[in-house]
Chain A
Amino acid sequence: MGNFPILTAVTFLPLAGALLIMLVQSATGSNGQDEETRGRQSLMAGLIFSAATFLASLVMLVSFEVDAPGYQLVEEVSWFAGIQYKLGIDGMSLLLILLTTLLTPISLVASYGTVKQRLTEYTIAFLVLETFMIGVFCAMDLVLFYVFFEAGLIPMFIIIGVWGGAERIYASFKFFLYTLLGSLFMLAAIVFMYMQAGTSDITVLETYAFAPEVQTWLWLAFFASFAVKLPMFPVHTWLPDAHVQAPTAGSVILAGVLLKMGGYGFLRFSLPMFPDASQFFQPMMFALSVIAIVYASLVAFRQTDMKKLIAYSSVAHMGFVTLGIFSFTEVGVQGAIFQMISHGLISGALFLIVGMVYDRVHTREIAAYGGLVNKMPIYAAIFMLFTMANVGLPGTSGFVGEILTMTGAFQASTWAAAGAALGVIFSAVYMLTLYRRTVFGPVTNPALENITDVGKKDLITITPLIIGTILLGITPNLVFDITRESSLRALQMITGG
């Protein structure tokens, strides 16, 4: 590939697509066609661009050398005042970028036919969002990272606010302001680190030794941002609102990618840059993780709204991620990264599954369903697969992530691992209850009498996720080989390796 800036290409390809769609649509004017036709054309164009981005990210995967330490495919241009436009990837960011580029076209396909209003703007918002998400994962400069991290809020804010449910305004504001408040603390920390170290280059800062008392404050500032994003107990309350109000595709991206930025942040910044503080806060993180796992699982059990249930299940599953990260063991960190990828696939699929019946019946109330297996056998099978994956059935990717994070946690604290194991049981309780109440039993709701089984579009969206979930469940080493170097680097300042 030579010096071709593949990362810049992958990052900005969706943005270029968005601009192109915008220009073409405004240049052609209404042109006699109605808004819906034009919107559908935009969606198709957006799909092509996001698919092209996915292919480009596969090129990235091919040119990635698994065993090489450090960051690869680095691109560097000076931006301003010592801050650089610097991109680079390691195994962890590579996989998260792949997850992003996979989920974006899937969510666009899922929107086909279901989103009818203002499809052009919708497509543009998703493409812009994709650029920012990819940017977050490959930024190698703190300020650049912050720019991408924050910028992603605006398209998501608009997606929830424009195409969301009845309470969308409240939900979008809550999402935005929660995340923003956390991020501003991080910005303060970033400015301080930049002042102190004289650079905002992540590779330099990873080995820069901040004084322990300074580390504590910096760690807390980053924690404020990542804990909201992840989200961790007790700042998770924006997530159920945002998920319930967001359109299906928005939920897929939110759960699949945006939540992962929190875990990514902990691994990329908190651990290597503030090792002392990370160790100092380990008990707190364990406690919050276990509370998140147990509490969110219990809350999930009581939900009457399908999306809210899955949202709380996300909070619980992200608890495993923090548990694994703060175990400071290789197996725990590997498990945490795996769990992020796996949860991206599974929760994305679950939101799609909810979306499928929502499109047909227009309600997310669990009580409105029941007996779906009689009418939608294929749907029931797919739902069963992902229910099991979410519970952590061996053979699915959910199992690998949970078992590894718990193994890691067990080495650090038996109690934490025991608490988390409780969460696994609870997750079986709420997921199986959800499944039983929606799929089994007699058909009671007359609206379900004429419901049709999954269509071609649904299969297109869900099949890649089925393949991914099972493939990673059977051969998890596909992921581990790629992420080994990143997990070791995240830990090197703590274990001294």
Chain B
Amino acid sequence: MLDFQAMISAIGPELLLALAGLAGVLAGAYMGDRFNGLSFKLGAVTLLLAALVVIMNWEGGEAFGGLVTTTPFVNFAKCISFIAGAVTLLMAEGFLKRHETIRYEYPLLVIFASLGMGIILSASNLMTLYMGIETLSLSSYVLASFHRDSIRSSEAGLKYFVLGALASGILLYGISLVYGFTGSTDYGDIASSERTIGLVFGMVLMISGMAFKVSAAPMHVWTPDVYEGAPSPVVAFFATAPKMASMVVFANLLFTAFTGVFEDWQMIIAIIATLSMLIGAFGALIQNNLKRLLGYSSIANMGYALVAVAAGAEYGAAALLVFMTSYVIASIGLFGGVLSMRREGGMVENIDELAGLVRRRTGLALALTVLVISVSGFPLAVGFIGKLVVFQAGWNAGLLPLLIVLVLSSVLAFGYYLRIILVMWVKEPVERFQPVGSTVSLSVYAAAAACLVLFVFASPFLDWATQASAGFIQ
């Protein structure tokens, strides 16, 4: 019979999210529009509860005959993803209200996407992985086109859907090859099977599919368009929670299922990382739209994260968690900044609209400066520690060429990050932003404060990540 205790400890958070999501659908069906306002708060609370359940079952476990296995490593990512999902959900409310698209479907979609993240993180079988990815992706496609009356949003959704479906197909094809040549879809069985050319082929296809999900080059082309077109709160969500989850899943898959063919994938990941770092940095240099810029910046940052992946499980696991967490925190704040850019007649997205922000809203400008400093990896904020540990991981693994690219790309990146600081501090101020509600400002301030606090008190944070990835160190 089912062992409930083990099941709860393995997939408790996912059960909670699934049940809450279904209850939300029912509540929406009965209450209709009256549920709209309430649903956002309830959704955020549900996600935070899920994070709490993750923390309570930190050591994780196995369930469904090995279809799902949770470890502290994935629980770390789950925790951060759920919290990020909750924060971005709260930030979305005001925006959607002003655009008259505040509907209870939005939090439900976020919850189902989070459910997908939970499932892929817990997966220890390729079938579970694929199911989770589809749950996450389908919710995401709908979210991207949530403003269905807006051409840009619809275009973003369609683009995301077509390319995403293609990537899923490639991933599935890879899964079928791996299954065909190893005879199993279980991570453990795949890891212990011998290296065949078919297995490597399947793995390469799977890497391509996963690279799409984390928006790593050369599968990155959707990112700037979707970032620009999709509604800002949706992008805030895309840039944080699913990024964290997908990247850790990517690493987890390579570290556990494909640990036997480490040499084969290390080179591929290294190339993907190099391309992402360069394309992201060069692409962002010429952007004027802040959302597009952040899109390219995320490509570059995924490149840095992949350096940690390429360093292998022993060196890179903890570094990956630290880097991704610091990136997610900074991204939440930066998208809070994007959401604050509201003028008479709608949202603005051009970098120049931030001109002279320091004189109009000193607090916001300072917070954004801290966040930009953090995401650029400059000392003074947690992003520096993130990059430092990635650098260390790469160094330990002997990936010198990658590190040189990392350094060069970081210098390039300062070119566009500095421009944001410069515009806020130097340019003559333009018209004031319209107020956007306290949740957004609060999130920006909290994210900036978190960047500074985690920098000063880095030790517990690093210890936590190291302890979470202890399972990878033999």
Which DSSP category, helix, strand, loop or mixed, fits chain B's interface? helix
Does B27 interact with chain A (Cβ within 8 Å)?
A: no
Contact B391 A80 (CB under 8 A): no
**Interface contact A80-B392, CB-CB below 8 Å:** no
Query: For the complex, would chain A's binding face be called helix, strand, loop or mixed by DSSP majority?
Result: helix
Is A161 in the interface zone, CB < 8 Å from B?
yes
Please tell me if the beta carbons of B395 and A79 are within 8 angstroms of each other in the complex: no
Interface residues of B in 391-444 (CB under 8 A from A): 391-392, 395-396, 403, 407, 410-411, 414-415, 418, 421-422, 425-426
Contact B391 A191 (CB under 8 A): yes
Do A154 and B388 touch across chains, with their CB atoms under 8 A apart? no
- Which B residues, 365 to 404, have Cβ-Cβ distances below 8 Å to chain A? 366, 373, 378-380, 384-385, 388-389, 391-392, 395-396, 403
Q: Is B407 touching A151 in the complex (CB atoms < 8 A)?
A: no
Listed stretches B32-40, B105-113, B210-218, B355-363; interface member: B355-363
Q: Which residues of B contact A146 (CB under 8 A)?
A: 379
Q: Report how far A194 CA is from B396 CA in the complex, Å.
A: 11
| A188-B403 CB under 8 A given contacts A80-B462, A150-B379 | yes
Closest Cβ–Cβ distance, residue B82 to chain A (whole Å): 25
Interface centre among B392, B410, B422 (most CB of A within 10 A): B422
The CA of A184 and the CA of B458, in the complex, are separated in Å by 21
A154/B378 in contact, CB under 8 A: yes
**Interface membership of A361, Cβ < 8 A:** no
Query: Across the interface, which residues of B come within 8 angstroms of A154, CB to CB?
Result: 373, 378, 380, 421
Contact A172 B422 (CB under 8 A): yes
B474 within 8 A of A: no
B side interface size, CB within 8 A: 32
Q: Is A162 in contact with B425, judged by CB distance below 8 angstroms?
A: yes
Which of A148, A161, A173 is in CB contact (< 8 Å) with B425? A161
A172 to B427 Cα, complex, angstroms: 14
Determine whether the beta carbon of A169 is less than 8 Å from that of B392: no
Give the distance in Å from the alpha carbon of A151 to the alpha carbon of B384 in the complex.
11
Q: B459 on the interface (CB 8 Å rule)?
A: yes
Give the distance to chain A from B382, nearest Cβ to Cβ, in Å.
11
**B462 close to A81 (CB less than 8 A):** yes
Which residues of A lie under 8 Å from residue B378 when comparing CB positions? 150-151, 154
Q: Which residue of B lies closest to A143 (CB)?
A: B388
Q: Is the CB of A177 within 8 A of B415?
A: yes
Q: How large, as a class, is the contact surface on chain A?
A: 35 or more
A13 to nearest B CB, angstroms? 17
CB of A26 within 8 A of CB of B362, answer yes
Which of A78, A147, A161, A184 interacts with B380 by CB under 8 Å? A147
Question: In chain B between 435 and 474, which residues have their CB closer than 8 angstroms to a CB of chain A?
Answer: 458-459, 461-462
Q: How far is the CA of A55 from the CA of B411 in the complex (A)?
A: 39
The CA of A195 and the CA of B459, in the complex, are separated in Å by: 18
Contacts of A192 in B (CB 8 A): 395
Interface flags, A139-152, vs B, CB<8A=1, else 0: 00001001110110
Within 8 A of B (CB), among A161-189: 161-162, 168-169, 172-173, 176-177, 180-181, 184-185, 187-188
Q: Is the CB of A121 within 8 A of B358?
A: yes
In the complex, 29 of the A-B residue pairs with CB atoms within 8 angstroms, ordered by the A residue number, are A79-B459, A80-B385, A80-B458, A80-B459, A80-B461, A81-B389, A121-B358, A147-B379, A147-B384, A151-B378, A151-B379, A151-B380, A154-B373, A158-B426, A161-B425, A169-B426, A173-B415, A173-B422, A176-B418, A177-B414, A184-B411, A188-B403, A188-B407, A191-B388, A191-B391, A191-B392, A191-B395, A195-B392, A195-B396
Residue positions of B touching A, CB distance < 8 A: 358-359, 362-363, 366, 373, 378-380, 384-385, 388-389, 391-392, 395-396, 403, 407, 410-411, 414-415, 418, 421-422, 425-426, 458-459, 461-462
A-B pairs, 4 with minimum CB distance: A80-B458, A147-B379, A80-B459, A150-B379
